[in-house]
Copies of this chain bind each other. A is one copy, B any other.
Amino acid sequence: MAKPPTVEDVARIAGVSRQTVSNVLNSPHIVRDETRERVQQAIADLAYRPHAAARRLRTRRSSTIGIHLDPYSGGISGVILDRFVHALTERASERGMRVLIYSARTADEEIARLGDLVDGAEIDAVVITGTFFGDPRTGWLLERDVPFVSFGRPWGGDDVYRPAHTWVDVDGAAGTRTATRHMLATQGARIGFFGWPPDNGTGDDRERGWREAMTDAGASGPRFEAVDGLANAREVMSAAFAEPDVLSELDALVCVSDSHAVGAHLAAADAGRRHLPVIGFDNTPVAEALGISSMEQSPELVAAAVLNLLMGTTGQAVAPRDRDAPPEHVLVEPRLILR
């Protein structure tokens, strides 16, 4: 196979110099129209493509974003992350950015991996997901001045004492509020909530939305809880429905996740009520398949927001973080998918 063409070759064919070719590629507006067209013709004729490594070496930019691929958890909601990664890849591609994935089992291992990627200049920015209380990653990234955005808000801890970092998250409370209001308007006043055990940031946030909507409406309803997992959720609700009147006095159920919703749905069916109205969270394929309503997180919107924060709304490169500007954040409002 012939050696691939370089800028030099293009320049020779077009009868101009290297720099002119470079200008056509990087700042087309400063080149005279007639010249630019000739160069572009030569590029097309030769099927020239810039050598990414050479460009990276010179510009010290890799045009690549790193993202951690969470270990397969076995849970249903991994789908959200997959959709997010997918959307991020598409949007990034539109802006001339690549997405590099890496894996790590623990936060410390992730930091080591990031060290390689950042110091080796393989990535310009990072998107971290699944932030948790006392997460060491954010501090490390801030300290090293690596541009990053987290999908998931910072939870307490370090972030109280230093300006929080830039993040994007889904507005869980707004989601359950919407879901609860819809149930109040269509099903009755006795709307229950089926959540995770307390002291789970995301779970508490979603529960708050239900509580607020109920208070606003002067209504009340029971609260149930179960750790994640469809089978577990089903058992918990089966046990609850075995108590007298629990099921019959429930107009509808707002759930913290789709597995909770599916579990409750199945438990209700087992208990003889085939169509207890439930609303899940995450709009996973299972909910879709079973015809269960759910709050759609729109990972696509999250991905777009993440890129806007990293690159600006129109930028083609990662913007350096302004140390004085307060970190920004975006809350994406989920929307109700009725089935």
Contacts and interface: CB of A to CB of B under 8 A. Distances in A.
Interface of A: 1, 4, 47, 49-54, 56-57, 62, 64, 69, 71-72, 74-76, 78-79, 82-83, 85-86, 89-90, 93, 98-103, 113, 115-116, 119-122, 145, 229-231, 259, 262, 285-286, 288-291
Contact of A231 (B100, B121, B145, B290): B290
Contact of A103 (B57, B90, B116): B90
Contacts of A72: 79, 82-83, 86
Given A72-B79, A99-B102, A100-B101, 19 more contacts: A4-B119, A47-B119, A49-B116, A50-B120, A53-B56, A53-B57, A71-B86, A72-B82, A78-B82, A78-B285, A82-B82, A86-B103, A89-B101, A89-B103, A98-B102, A98-B122, A101-B101, A229-B289, A259-B289
Contacts of A231: 289-291
Contacts of A99: 100-102
Contacts of A62: 52-53
19 contacts: A49-B116, A52-B56, A52-B121, A53-B56, A53-B57, A56-B56, A69-B85, A72-B82, A72-B83, A72-B86, A78-B79, A78-B82, A78-B285, A86-B103, A93-B103, A99-B100, A230-B290, A231-B289, A231-B290
